[in-house]
Amino acid sequence: MTAGRFAPSPSGDLHVGNLRTAILAWLFARSTGRDFLLRIEDLDRVRPGAQEGQLRDLRAIGIDWDGPFVRQSDRAALYADAVAQLTAAGLVYECYCSRREIHEAPSAPHHPPGAYPGTCRDLTDAQREVRRSERPAALRLRATIGSQTVTDLLHGRVDGAVDDIVLVRNDGVPAYNLAVVVDDAEQGIDQIVRGDDLLSSAPRQAYLASLLRYAEPTYAHVPLALNAGGKRLSKRDGAVTFRELASKGIDVRALILESMGMTSVEDFDPSRLPREPWVFVPPA
């Protein structure tokens, strides 16, 4: 099977930037004969009712999907299985660091800024014993490379940092990078279209996929929507959700297609997609 997907987090209503990404993911999948799957990424930031609202808005702008959607909260066994495989391969270690400790640690040589400094990578058993009694452990990947190249339909070859990512948070919840990699592979998704804020995550996700012997997917990281001030569009910017815009008489689907120089979905041509962010000024 080949498939594309949209994977919203049910933290609230989708805004036009999210809806535009969803339409793009749908267009990329459908125009290449792929199935289109929907996955609710509800491992954190869930707002009651948000999921229903998101599905309603996706349907309202003409997006359909194949089969029932899946929810990450139903898939714990798959994530545990992946962690077990990595553990058996010696690629997992416990990390006891707080956010602050990571931030304040001197960054290790050859590590990109912001990368995990490796504090807990090589502790002795005795040291682990002590640290374990202080704070519950997260599980990190013992990465064996420092960077990885992926190929993106819009960005070409992209080289990015790979560090010891968190696989399971210290509250026991699977981390985003683990869940997304396992789900994409297990759902047969071979085309990942999403916002370009996640471009820098693609190399580490591709690396994790390779460790789990998953095939590398095709990526297309698409431009985000910005507000008039050049900041990432948010719900604070005014009328930006489907409901808000529709209540002002706006055809949201047409608005989004127009932002990409299209009048109908038949006009879709990946080579002619805008490469710049979409500046969206909400109607008064």
Q: CA-CA distance, 59 to 268, in Å (whole number)?
A: 19
Cβ atoms 246, 254 nearer than 8 A: no
Residue written as token pair 């509800």: 42
> What DSSP designation does 19 have?
H
CA distances from 229 to 232, 234, 238, 268, 279 (A): 9, 12, 13, 29, 9
Could you say which of Zn ion, ligand GLU, none residue 95 binds, taking C-beta under 5 to 8 angstroms by partner kind?
Zn ion
Tokens at residue 86, please?
Answer: 């990595």
Residue from 46, 154, 173, 198 touching ligand GLU (CB under 6 A): that is 198
Q: Write the interaction track for ligand GLU spanning residues 105-144; mark x where CB under 6 A is met and - where it is not.
A: ----------------------------------------
User: Cβ of 64: how many Cβ atoms within 10 Å?
Assistant: 10
Question: Binding segment for ligand GLU among 2-10, 29-37, 86-94, 230-238 (CB under 6 A)?
Answer: 2-10
Considering the rule CB under 6 A, would residue 50 count as an interface residue with ligand GLU? Answer: no
Residue from 3, 14, 16, 120 touching Zn ion (CB under 5 A): that is 120
The residue count for binding ligand GLU (CB under 6 A) is 7
Considering the rule CB under 6 A, would residue 13 count as an interface residue with ligand GLU? Answer: no
Considering the rule CB under 6 A, would residue 41 count as an interface residue with ligand GLU? Answer: yes
Pairing of strands 35-40, 70-71: parallel
Rule CB under 6 A: which residues touch ligand GLU?
7-9, 41, 180, 194, 198
